[in-house]
Amino acid sequence: MSNRTIAILSPGDMGHRIGRALGEHGHDLITCLAGRSERTRGLAEKGGFDDAEDLETVTRRADLILSIIPPSDGPAMAETVAAAMERSGHRPPYADCNALAPATARRIASIIEAAGAPFIDASICSLAPSPGDLPRIYASGTDTSPLEALDGHGIAVKPLGSEVGRASGIKMCYGGLTKGIATLHTAVLLAAEAMGLSDELRDELMYSQKDTYAAMQYKIPRLPADSARWIGEMEEGAASFTAVGVTPNFHRGAVDIYALLSQTPLALETRETIDSNRTLEESVRVFASHRPRPGS
C-alpha cells in the first residue's frame, strides 16, 4: 500500500507523529486545518501534512481516514465527516483510533456506515512512533484490511476480528491501567501533602519502592498538560467497565484527579512547553493548592 493518501484528523501530539512515520514509508498525508490552533498547524507542518481547504476535499483525496482526536470529540467528528462524504460523493474507509467505550465505537460505526463508508474500530495502545519502536494499533471490524495494509509502515497493526468494539475494549483496559495508575499515584501524594506527611512518604518510597517513585518523579509533573483530554478517556472507561459488570469507580476517581489537574496553572503547558526542571514535590504543592477542601 505504498504511495497512498492517508488523512489524519487531527495532526495533534499523536496524530502528527503517526503521520510523519507513515510519510517516511511513502504515503501522502492530508488533513484539514480550518479552525485549528497555531500549535496544531505547526505540528502538521512538522509531520509533513498537506492542508486541504475543507473536509469534502479530504474525503475526495483520501484512501483512508484516521480519526485521532480527544475521545469526547469522536462522535461529532464522525457526524461531520459523514456529512462531508455525502456532499463529496466519496466514501473512503474511516478508522476511529480514539479511546472510546465499545458502545461509543458502535455508535460511531452506525454514523459512518449510514453514510455508505466502511468503518474500522481502532485503538492506539502505545507511545507515539520512535526509532525502533512502532506504536501498536489494534483493529476490528468487518474489513480491517485498509488499516492492516499499513502494518510495518511506521506502525504495527494488530487485527482483533470482525466485531466492532473489540479494539476499543482493549484500549479501555490498557488505558485504565496506564492512565489510571498515574492518578492513583497522584492521589496518594496529594493525601500525604494534606496530612503533612510528604517528606516521610517520599523517604519510605525511596527506600522500599524505588522504581515506582522514579516513575512518579518523571510522569506526574507532566500530567497537567494532558489532563483535560484524558478526562473523556476515563469517562469512556467507566462506561466500558459498567457495561460488563466491573466497578467503574477506579475510572471515576481518575476523572476527579484529571479534572483537578486541569484546573491548575500547569494545565496551560503543552508537551513542548512543560517545565522539565519542575520537581515532583513542586508539582504536588501546586496540585494541593487547588484541591477541594473537606466539606466544600
- The SS3 assignment for 244 reads coil
If you search the block for the grid coordinates 501533602, which residue do you land on? 193
For the residues 239-248, what does the mean pLDDT come to? 98
Cell of 73: 470529540
Cell of 188: 496518594
The reported pLDDT for the residue numbered 131 is 66
Does residue 26 register a pLDDT over 80? yes
**Quick check: 29 and 22 in contact, CB under 8 A?**
yes
For the residues 163-190, what does the mean pLDDT come to? 97
The Cα 61–Cα 203 span in angstroms is 58
The reported pLDDT for the residue numbered 158 is 97
pLDDT band at 293 (very low <50, low <70, confident <90, very high): confident
Element (H, E) at 199: helix 198-208
What percentage of the chain exceeds 90 in pLDDT?
Answer: 91
**Domains plus CATH for the chain?**
5-164 (3.40.50.720), 171-288 (1.10.1040.10)
If you search the block for the grid coordinates 507532566, which residue do you land on? 222
Does residue 130 register a pLDDT over 70? no
**Quick check: 152 and 27 in contact, CB under 8 A?**
no
Burial class (CB in 10 A: 0-12, 13-18, 19+), 63: middle
The reported pLDDT for the residue numbered 296 is 57
Q: In this predicted model, which residue has the larger pLDDT, 3 or 164?
A: 164
Tell whether pTM > 0.85: yes
pLDDT band at 134 (very low <50, low <70, confident <90, very high): confident
The reported pLDDT for the residue numbered 35 is 87
Does residue 29 register a pLDDT over 60? yes
Whole-number average pLDDT of the chain? 95
If you search the block for the grid coordinates 492518578, which residue do you land on? 183
pLDDT band at 129 (very low <50, low <70, confident <90, very high): low
